[in-house]
Amino acid sequence: MIPFIPPIRSDLFSTFMLLGFVQGLILAYFFLTHYKGNRLPNLFLGILILGMSLIISDVWLGYTNYMFQVLWIVDFTEPLNLLLAPMAYLYIRTGVSQRARKSDWLHLIPAVVYFVYMCVLIYPQGLAYKYNNHLGSYHPEMTYLPSDFYGERWMFFPKRHINDFTFISMLIYNMTGFVFLKNAFKERGVSPFTRLKNDLSWYRDIHLLLTFLVITFFVVRTNFPHDLGDHIVAASISLIIYITSFTVLRRSLFFQEINVRQQKKYEKSSLTAEIQSTTLRKLEEVMSSEKPFLDPGFSMPVLARRLGISTHHLSQILNEELKQNFFDFSGAYRIREAQKLLTDGESHYIKIEEIAQMVGYNSKSAFNTAFRKVTGSTPSEYKKSITK
């Protein structure tokens, strides 16, 4: 028998969290239904956002006092605490590298183990135990119920320290993600602070949002007793969901127009998956070993003939598989080659105009524009930065 139920609390935080929960479910559904083929990163992001949404719902129930009406689900989202950081890291790593490994799923082991632990020891406990647990998190000033629970005291060590485990997980994966992104920017010769919108800047921004969450979690846990500051953490998660939703919506509106044009353009294409796969492998081999892009006369028809396919099929492969047009595709290879020349000590005497010609540009201004688009700096700025 529950002696007292506090009145329902409704304020700005509760509304902000509730809307964040609903928005998170919509966003999670979007990503979880768009992860087939080469879109596996969407699966990790979908799981991440769904987990965030469920955690928000847990905090919202506790904050508004609705939890007293569903005490049997107290702490039902705790295993998700150990799932969010691995999912965020896997999303960034697979998104940048476009490669996934079977071993990636091993990152879920801590969350799975903790879920089994909760199923065995915590979830089956009586309502009085869960009532007291809820009071300890949200209403430590209220009178606790006498309760019997099964299990030795030492068995509850993981439960008592779940916040510590959560922070350690967040910190480790956040630092690992930072190192991975730093190396990715370095490999592409792009500044981590570039304002240009590309795939790396998107993952960098996602990582910054998650870093903000790690800092918020640490500050709340060190300044609030019990779980009294959970509503601040949940509001921060809601803010991340709002920002992500806005960014995805803005990007989707842009790419939707492109996709519609591409679908119409390629709707009668005879390109098969086998030809596509074979051509992609041959394309990478030709571009890496023969470097046809160094020729100023390099063009799509020239490359298509070398690959033994039509220009229409080559255009389709570049647009659908590599998400690039021919100009950006060839430009990326040329700029990468230019970066090698600019960093090569034996080539330091070569003028930038000559390097532009060596990598296939007839115009220095065109070379500068392409170089800035890829790296975020001019060739001169890039050369100065590496000689410091």
| The listed CATH number (1.10.390, 3.40.1580, 4.10.860, 1.20.1070) that belongs to domain 12-262 | 1.20.1070
The percentage of residues in the chain with a pLDDT greater than 90, rounded to a whole number, is 41
Q: State mean pLDDT over 105-121.
A: 96
Residue 364: predicted pLDDT: 84
Least trusted range by pLDDT, from 238-242, 254-258, 356-360:
254-258
Q: Tokens for 305?
A: 């003939």
Q: State mean pLDDT over 180-192.
A: 81
20-64 pLDDT tens trace: 999 999 999 988 987 655 577 889 999 999 999 999 999 999 999
Residue 253: predicted pLDDT: 45
Would you list the domain boundaries of the chain? Answer: 12-262, 271-323, 329-388
Q: Tokens for 32?
A: 């979880």
**Is residue 242 predicted with pLDDT exceeding 90?**
yes
The pTM for the full model equals 0.67
Residue 136 or 272, more confident:
136
Query: Is 329-388 assigned to CATH 1.10.10.60?
Result: yes
Residue 248: predicted pLDDT: 80
**Is residue 345 predicted with pLDDT exceeding 80?**
no
12-262 and 329-388: same fold?
Answer: no
Average per-residue pLDDT for the chain: 86
**Nearest to 198, CA basis, from 75, 96, 344:** 96
DSSP string computed for 204-219: HHHHHHHHHHHHHHHH
DSSP string computed for 20-82: HHHHHHHHHHHHHTS-STT-HHHHHHHHHHHHHHHHHHHHHHHHHTGGGG-GGGTTTTGGGGG
Q: How confident is the model at residue 258 (pLDDT cuts 50, 70, 90)?
A: very low
**Is residue 259 predicted with pLDDT exceeding 60?**
no
**Is residue 263 predicted with pLDDT exceeding 80?**
no
Residue 19: predicted pLDDT: 97
d(CA 202, CA 370): 20
C-beta separation of 238 from 17 below 8 A: yes
Residue 352: predicted pLDDT: 87
Residue 184 or 216, more confident:
216
**Nearest to 287, CA basis, from 259, 324, 312:** 324
294-333 pLDDT tens trace: 888 888 888 988 888 888 888 888 888 888 888 888 988 9
Q: State mean pLDDT over 232-236.
A: 95
Residue 387: predicted pLDDT: 64
3-state secondary structure of 384: helix
d(CA 208, CA 229): 22
Q: How confident is the model at residue 75 (pLDDT cuts 50, 70, 90)?
A: very high
